[in-house]
Amino acid sequence: MIPARLCLLVLSTRLLYLGNRPPHDPPTQGDKVTKKRIFDRYVRIMCHLFNTPFFLRVSFECIALLTAQFSSHAISRQGLLATLPNQDPQILKTLPLSLVIGTTFVVSGAGIRLLCYRTLGRLYTYEITIRPGHKIVDSGPYGFVRHPAYTGGFLLYTGAVLLAVGPGSYLWECGLATSYIVIRIVMTVWTIFVIWFTYSLMARAPIEDKSLRLKFGKEWEAYAYRVPHRFIPGIY
């Protein structure tokens, strides 16, 4: 079970990195950029603030799993002391529900976002941007909702939180979260940050709609009529 758990962690980490990495360079001088909010001005830094704690958290679990798998070695026993305060390697030989559900969300969210990157190409930026030669794209996922990348982002970030700090996850079952108040504080601050990050991302949808409506007028209105929902087909 340890190899399966390692595979899910590596898969989730890789897809989280790809799904939360800006696919293109920042806008250039010829681009029209909307940066009225703090989130929009520093969105690329926000991505690093999201990714780094998650990667560190997953690294600790991977070390614990590897040391449990090869516990006969002296160096592995030292690794277990650092990453498994409760000293019960058996808990690492299971698949926590939070890991399974979290990975499912991460895979789904990253898949949607990567498809959006491919569909929009150079028009996809992490900033709210109108580029030279900009056009309305209504193919692929943009034929179902107007902001599918944000739907994917919601799934991606929700999955990351479930995987990293959800009930029954590594930090709780290994004893780190219950043994060290500093770790609990970091977990709480990071979770609050992710909630704010996700809310700020979803709140960009009406701002983008306004920018596109001002740029394209009736063409955008026709697109909004054909695709009336922002995030979930047929619902919202």
Is the Cβ–Cβ distance between 128 and 154 less than 8 Å? no
Q: Is residue 232 part of a domain?
A: no
Q: Distance between CA atoms of 143 and 19, rounded to whole angstroms?
A: 20
User: pTM above the 0.85 mark?
Assistant: yes
pLDDT of residue 80: 64
pLDDT of residue 180: 86
> How is 78-127 classified by DSSP, letter by letter?
HHHHHH-TT--GGGGGS--HHHHHHHHHHHHHHHHHHHHHHHHGGG--SS
Q: Is residue 231 part of a domain?
A: no
What is the number of domains present in the chain? Answer: 1
CATH number at residue 65: 1.20.120
**Distance spanning both ends of the chain, measured CA to CA:** 40
Task: Please report, in tens digits, the pLDDT of each residue of the chain (236 residues total).
Answer: 889 999 999 999 999 999 999 998 888 888 889 888 999 999 999 999 999 999 999 998 998 888 877 766 655 566 666 677 777 778 888 999 999 999 999 999 999 999 999 999 999 999 999 999 999 999 999 999 999 999 999 999 999 999 999 999 999 988 888 888 999 999 999 999 999 999 999 999 999 999 999 999 999 999 999 999 999 999 99
Q: Distance between CA atoms of 134 and 120, rounded to whole angstroms?
A: 10
pLDDT of residue 72: 61
Q: Which domain holds residue 18?
A: 2-226
Q: Is residue 235 part of a domain?
A: no
106 by Cβ neighbours in 10 Å (0-12 / 13-18 / 19+) ranks as buried
Q: Is residue 95 part of a domain?
A: yes
Q: Is residue 75 part of a domain?
A: yes
pLDDT of residue 93: 86
Q: Which of 103, 62, 96 is nearest to 168 (CA)?
A: 96
Q: Is residue 233 part of a domain?
A: no
